[in-house]
Chains A and B, each alone.
Chain A
Amino acid sequence: KAGVTQTPRYLIKTRGQQVTLSCSPISGHRSVSWYQQTPGQGLQFLFEYFSETQRNKGNFPGRFSGRQFSNSRSEMNVSTLELGDSALYLCASSLAFQETQYFGPGTRLLVL
């Protein structure tokens, strides 16, 4: 079974721009979570979607948003990028809400 896939794998943007990252979960998985990973802050939870509804949200500003489609694929969007948004953005999928999460390889975002 194919794992979680994320696109693009690498991205360079400038301050003030916006970015959309995509995640395709493991086939049959209906829950998708997003995390931000930085050397300084570690792995931090952004949000979790299940059945196209956001079920949980971390402590990030409103510039960070997401959505989930009927096929369980998910996107996250960051608007008005700041230098501090440079990070590895990880997507994880699980069979159902609150089940074991399996991570994708991440999208590495660099904001200049």
Chain B
Amino acid sequence: GESVGLHLPTLSVQEGDNSIINCAYSNSASDYFIWYKQESGKGPQFIIDIRSNMDKRQGQRVTVLLNKTVKHLSLQIAATQPGDSAVYFCAERHYNKLIFGAGTRLAVHP
């Protein structure tokens, strides 16, 4: 399928390592944040979300951290696998609209 983004920042990791993908969001009033994963030729797939009244949320192999002071969101993936290779987007909900970041490409090497 066509590339999601031709000039996205890329994070390269070794299989089995932990990955940390960062996102700076724009609006202090945003109340809800989501991470999506998009593989080539597919639509974004929901990974994990967090509300603004929390600073950490854990899922299966993934953790999202929210720092409202500096408007920063991160996604941590434990024991990264080749199947984790994709583009990852953060999204913030601001006045009832989802605003997506530009995305980060995660490349997992064996």
Contacts and interface: CB of A to CB of B under 8 A. Distances in A.
Contacts of B3: 39
Contact of A105 (B43, B93, B100): B43
Interface residues of B, number: 26
Interface string A43-75: 111001000000110100000000000000000
Contact of B100 (A43, A48, A98, A100): A43
A66 B6 CA distance: 29
Contact of B2 (A48, A100, A108): A108
Contacts of B49: 100
B96 A106 contact: no
Q: Which 10 A-B pairs have the closest CB atoms?
A: A103-B43, A43-B100, A103-B44, A39-B6, A105-B43, A106-B43, A104-B43, A42-B102, A90-B43, A39-B5
Interface of A: 4, 33, 35, 37, 39, 42-45, 48, 55-56, 58, 88, 90, 92, 98, 100-106, 108
